[in-house]
Amino acid sequence: MHEIAQPPPVQRFRPLPGTWLLFGCGALLLVALFANTFVYLFDAWHREEYSHGFLVPVISAYLLWQRRAAFTAAGWHGSWAGVALLVAGLAIYFVGMLASITTIDAYAFVLVLMGAAWAMLGWPAFRIALVPLALLLLMNPIPNFFYYNLSSQLQLWSSQLGVAFIRLCGVSVFLEGNVIDLGSFKLQVAEACSGLRYLFPLMTLGVIIAYLFRGRRWMRWLLFLSTVPITLLMNSLRIGIIGVLVDRYGPEQAEGFLHQFEGWVVFMACLAVLLLEAWLLLRLSGDGRRFRDVFALEVVEAQGGARQAGGARLSPPAIAALVLLLVAVFPARALPQRVEVRPARSDFAEFPLQLGDYHGRRQALESVYLDTLKLDDYVLADFSLPADAGAPAMLAAAPVNLYVAYYASQRTGESAHSPRSCLPGGGWRMLDFGVYPLAAVPGGFGALQVNRAIVQQGTSRQLVYYWFQERGRDITSEYKVKWYLLRDALTRNRTDGALVRLITPLAENEPAADGDARLAAFAARALPELKHYLPD
């Protein structure tokens, strides 16, 4: 009889004496280096869309511990490539620290941690740890610039798909941007309903499921990437169901506990769809394994007396990584907290409502918008020329709306929301968009480049100018705004800035050139006055 070959015993995880000392020193140095970052993350995790962040480090640690037998087999040899990644992460950290932009610190922490692990383990063992460590990126808040743009786009898509479902159920409905008009009641698809509260947690679960999925690589990628359309479709379905319930049973269906409960149901449904997708992938590919076997965790049994083959040796790259972390702690702790420069300026409450022949009427933003924008000061007013002012007819034909949102500090990510993403949410469709040069404006502004858009809602048209006034610069590109924000935070210790927006309505068949003349004439009168409120 042939003897049946027995599988080799699973090695007991018995670390060499230097293992825990090595990792203990590295962990203490990381805690000392990123103490303020951890406080920032803890605060961010209390926001609903990032509440999954509390679980991500725990899951990452568990996945690493679950693969400890693989680490044993791979051995730990050290790698200078990891030292290079650690240096890059430290450089990003100090840039963020000097600029006092904590969002950068959070991503730098993950890079430094991965670099230190790579330097100590070497590539064969680090490759096993790569996905669990990369999972930590999903515990970090995304920069607000990307957050607001992503949220605005998801709101629009969710509104459109939700309205399609409502109509499919035989309910008459009208959509303007993110406002769903049911006739007797209007639903505002707010930022909280954009789907981001589902997307980030579901993406995290998608990474975990794809990591544990014992299938082909393209299947794993498909499982992870599909979290985005699944979230969008299920969130749209939720909005559609709410619309139908409101139409039939009243507006209380969109409020209170029922509204929150629907959110949990939708998230669990998203997870169920993701698991169903994994099952379908198996069946369509002809894989005959049981579903539970595909997701079976690798269980490490404490059998066999073999001692760990590799161990955490003090290789030169590991020593270099520890020295770099130690050296970085001293300047990080010794440098005093920079107090941001906030230049003197006048409050917009003092902004005049008489600008030459222009007469203004001040308006106020509703609290729901103030809570979203998180600005420090603003002016919102309609200015018009009286008929007897002697101005050309095109200038007095319609008013000009002036809106300026000022932020004293943009270090924590709070910044002006671009009209390019906000106007579509209000139901306005962009007919034309581009950069437009204005003639030189008196009072130190000089020649301006502005973003110019023609927008339409129903039969109404408007001409919009806007730009970002950032510490003496007029900027049209949102990406340049972020670059100068980082540069000025480092070199000038300032991050104040503002959005300036001018709007005038266009009458039916009125050429856009008339609106250009109105906005240019008003800008020449108003912008010199803004110098007192927007410091250079």
State pLDDT tens for residues 299-331: 444 444 444 444 455 788 888 998 999 999 888
76 and 34 within one domain: yes
Q: What is the pLDDT of residue 370?
A: 80
404 strand-pairing partners: 379, 500
CA distance 535 to 514: 31
pLDDT of the chain, 536 residues: tens digit per residue: 344 444 444 444 455 556 667 778 888 889 988 988 898 899 889 888 888 889 999 999 988 888 877 877 777 788 899 999 999 999 998 887 776 666 888 899 999 999 999 998 889 889 988 989 999 999 998 877 777 777 777 777 888 888 888 888 877 777 766 677 776 666 666 555 556 677 888 888 888 888 888 778 888 889 899 988 888 888 888 888 887 877 777 766 666 545 566 667 778 888 888 888 888 888 887 776 777 777 665 544 444 444 444 445 578 888 899 899 999 988 877 665 667 778 888 888 888 898 888 888 999 888 777 877 788 889 899 998 887 666 677 777 788 899 999 988 877 667 777 787 777 766 677 788 888 888 766 555 567 788 999 888 878 889 999 999 888 888 888 888 888 888 888 888 888 889 999 999 988 888 888 888 889 888 888 888 888 888 87
Map tokens 């459109």 to a residue. 160
Residue 128 lies in a domain: yes
69 and 21 within one domain: yes
455 and 370 within one domain: yes
Q: What is the pLDDT of residue 527?
A: 85
454 and 405 within one domain: yes
Of 281, 142, 265, the closest CA to residue 215 belongs to 281
CA distance 440 to 115: 51
442 and 411 within one domain: yes
200 and 87 within one domain: no
Q: What is the pLDDT of residue 255?
A: 63
Handedness of CA 407, 412, 418, 423 (dihedral sign): negative
Q: Using the 3D structure, point to which of 301, 334, 367 is the last residue of a domain.
A: 334
CA distance 273 to 277: 6
Say how many domains are in the chain: 3
* Residue 40 and residue 411 in contact, taking contact as beta carbons nearer than 8 Å: no
Residue 302 lies in a domain: no
CA distance 98 to 93: 9
Residue 301 lies in a domain: no
Provide the token pair at 461.
């048209």
Q: What is the DSSP letter of 511?
A: -
41 and 122 within one domain: yes
The domain in which residue 355 lies consists of 348-530
Mapping DSSP to helix (H, G, I), strand (E, B) and coil, where does residue 455 land? strand
Q: Using the 3D structure, point to which of 268, 300, 334 is the last residue of a domain.
A: 334
CA distance 515 to 462: 8
Q: Burial level of 463, CB count in 10 A (0-12/13-18/19+)?
A: buried
Count Cβ neighbours within 10 Å for each residue of 403-429 and write b for 16 or more, e otherwise: bbbbbbbbbebebbbbbbbbbbbebbe
Q: What is the pLDDT of residue 268?
A: 85
207 and 99 within one domain: no
Residue 299 lies in a domain: no
404 and 438 within one domain: yes
CA angle in degrees (0–180, nearest 5) for 197-198-204: 110
CA distance 194 to 371: 16
391 and 513 within one domain: yes
Contacts of 71 (CB under 8 A, 6+ apart): 121, 125, 128, 129, 310
Residue 12 lies in a domain: no
226 and 90 within one domain: no
Q: Using the 3D structure, point to which of 334, 367, 402 is the last residue of a domain.
A: 334
Q: What is the pLDDT of residue 306?
A: 40
Q: What is the pLDDT of residue 247?
A: 76
430 and 510 within one domain: yes
Residue 403 lies in a domain: yes
Residue 298 lies in a domain: no
Residue 9 lies in a domain: no
CA distance 116 to 111: 9
Which pTM was predicted? Answer: 0.72
